[in-house]
Structures are given as C-alpha cells and as structure tokens.
C-alpha cells in the first residue's frame, strides 16, 4: 500500500470513528471508566449546604471564617488496546474482514479516550508481541495507532493470548483500561486472564463472522487454515465433520465467555455484519 492510499484510509477511518466518539461515546466513556479517585483542588469559603466534613480547620482558624477543601476527580487514565493480528483475523464473508472491524472499534475507543485527555497505548500480538506503542496523548498519536492497525504486517499467523497478557503485565505496572480485541480462537488463557484482571480494568471484545459458526454442506472442499496456512480437503457433506467443527467452535466461544466471567472482566461479542456502535453503547451503559 502506497503512502497516499494509506493516508486516505487513515483519514476515512478517522472521520467515521471520531464522529462516533465525539457524539456518542465521549460521555459514556467518561461515566463508565472513572479516574483514580479524588484529588485536592482548592480551598474556598464555606457556603450554605457544603459538607461540613470538608472544612479545612487550619485555614478556618487562620482567617477566623469557615473554609472548605474542594476536591475534583483525578481523571487521567491510560487505555491499552491489545489487538490480535494473527491469520484468522483476515477472514470475512460479509462486507468487511474481522481485522477491519477491529481497526474501527479500536479507533473509536482511542478517540473516546483522547476526548477525556487519557493516554492510549497499543499492543499488536500473534503468538508473540509484534508491536508495542507506549501510551501517549493526542490526535497524532491516535493516527499513528490507526496507521499501524491498517498496514502492519505480522511475522507470525498464530495466536497466543497468554503471552500477550503476560507482556501487558510487564509493561503496565499501574492500573489501566484494557481492551483485548480478538476472535478468541485460542486456548489456555484463563489463568493469566484472572491475574491480569486483578490489576487492570479488562474487557474482551470478540469479533467474529457468522460463517465461522458452522460449515455448510458443499461437498468436498479445499480449505486453508488461516493461522497455519495448511491446505486440506474437507468433506463438508459429512454430518460428523460438520458436527465436530460446530462443537469445536462453540467450545472456543464458551471458553471465552466462561474465562472472562470468572475472572471478573467484561466481555462482548461483535459480529462483523452487526453494528458495533450499538454493542459498545450497550456495554458502556451497563457498566456506568
């Protein structure tokens, strides 16, 4: 992809997702994800109705007139976007691939955080860490994140969510808002998820295509594994083949839901042909 085409794509995504974050998600994001607490702002004269517990007795004694301490929310937070860029994300039978929807969701979340003057960082992962962008503020930083989401070419096609979560724990010592975006066709991440969820406010967003849920009866079909690249002949006319695949897929979905529920983390499903806007808004409203 040449520079001109890349900038055009970045701009298109910015216009769409920034409008969403400005008009829809800004307030919802602010009310859903609170600051670290209340911090001292100033002292002013006591007014009728003020909470007497906030009286500053030292200042009151000095001026012989009641004064109270004013506190405000310590708002600044850090958002980490953890994005699965393995081979299975390059799949889609509808209008968009999974990775394109993931890019839009990530951009919308990033601009929502920017509206609240929060820092945003990015981790792109497969079965290893492909790219880490430390948290920073500002529009230009968000645009860099979008550029990477569009054009980054991973070295691996496999997935290891556990390794990504361990890396997050190593680089983020303070509490962060974490969005983990993947199709979650992966294994054995439950225990690490529990550990990470104790420190961070973690949400898993499962992005999937309807066609992944079941194999249609199309006879003998050559298929390619999105992660291993292996080609194989599959007899889709076989009922047992279709049932085994369906069970395999549903087991992965159940593992995702169970893992996030038991770790105390949030989760939501976004199908590529459905509105992720409604899904995110519903999630924010339930959280706030």
Beta-bridge partner residues of 133:
122
- List, for residues 4-23, the tens digit of each pLDDT value: 676 777 777 777 677 766 65
Q: In this predicted model, what pLDDT tens digit does every residue of 104-136 receive, in sequence order?
A: 999 989 888 887 788 999 999 999 999 999 999
pLDDT of residue 40: 55
Distance CA 163, CA 80 (A): 15
The reported pLDDT for the residue numbered 85 is: 93
**What is the β-pairing status of strands 119-125 and 129-136?**
antiparallel
Tokens 């405000």, located at residue: 72
* pLDDT greater than 60 at residue 38: no
Mean pLDDT to the nearest integer, 29-38: 57
Size (the chain), residues: 288
Per the CB < 8 A criterion, the answer to whether 55 and 67 are in contact is yes
Superfamily of domain 3-32+76-287: von Willebrand factor, type A domain (3.40.50.410)
**Distance in angstroms (rounded) separating the CA atoms of residues 139 and 114:** 7
Domains of the chain, residue spans: 3-32+76-287, 38-73
CA-nearest of 268, 267, 263, 264 to 278 is 268
The whole-number pLDDT of residue 221 equals 78
Write out pLDDT tens, residues 177-229: 999 999 999 889 999 999 999 999 999 999 998 888 888 778 877 776 666 66
Residue 36 has pLDDT above 60, yes or no: no
């Amino acid at each position: 992809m040449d520079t001109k085409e890349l900038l055009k794509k970045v701009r298109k995504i910015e216009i769409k997702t920034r409008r969403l974050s400005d008009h829809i998600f800004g307030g919802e994001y602010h009310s859903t994800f609170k600051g670290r607490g209340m911090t001292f702002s100033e002292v002013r004269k006591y007014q009728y109705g003020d909470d007497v517990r906030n009286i500053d007795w030292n200042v009151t004694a000095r001026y012989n007139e009641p004064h109270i301490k004013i506190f405000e929310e310590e708002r600044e937070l850090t958002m980490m976007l953890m994005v699965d860029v393995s081979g299975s994300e390059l799949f889609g039978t509808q209008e968009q691939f999974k990775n394109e929807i993931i890019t839009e969701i990530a951009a919308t979340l990033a601009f929502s955080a920017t509206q609240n003057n929060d820092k945003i960082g990015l981790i792109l992962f497969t079965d290893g860490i492909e790219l880490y962008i430390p948290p920073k503020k500002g529009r230009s930083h968000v645009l860099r994140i979008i550029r990477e989401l569009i054009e980054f070419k991973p070295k691996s096609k496999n997935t290891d969510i556990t390794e990504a979560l361990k890396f997050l724990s190593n680089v983020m010592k303070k509490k962060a808002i974490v969005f983990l975006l993947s199709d979650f066709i992966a294994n054995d991440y439950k225990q690490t998820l529990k550990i990470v969820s104790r420190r961070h406010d973690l949400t898993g967003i499962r992005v999937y295509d309807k066609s992944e849920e079941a194999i249609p009866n199309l006879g003998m079909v050559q298929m390619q594994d999105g992660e291993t690249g292996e080609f194989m002949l599959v007899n889709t006319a076989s009922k047992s083949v279709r049932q085994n695949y369906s069970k395999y897929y549903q087991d992965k979905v159940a593992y995702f839901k169970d893992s996030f529920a038991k770790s105390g983390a949030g989760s939501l499903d976004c199908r590529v042909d459905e509105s992720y806007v409604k899904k995110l808004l519903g999630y924010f409203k339930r959280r706030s």
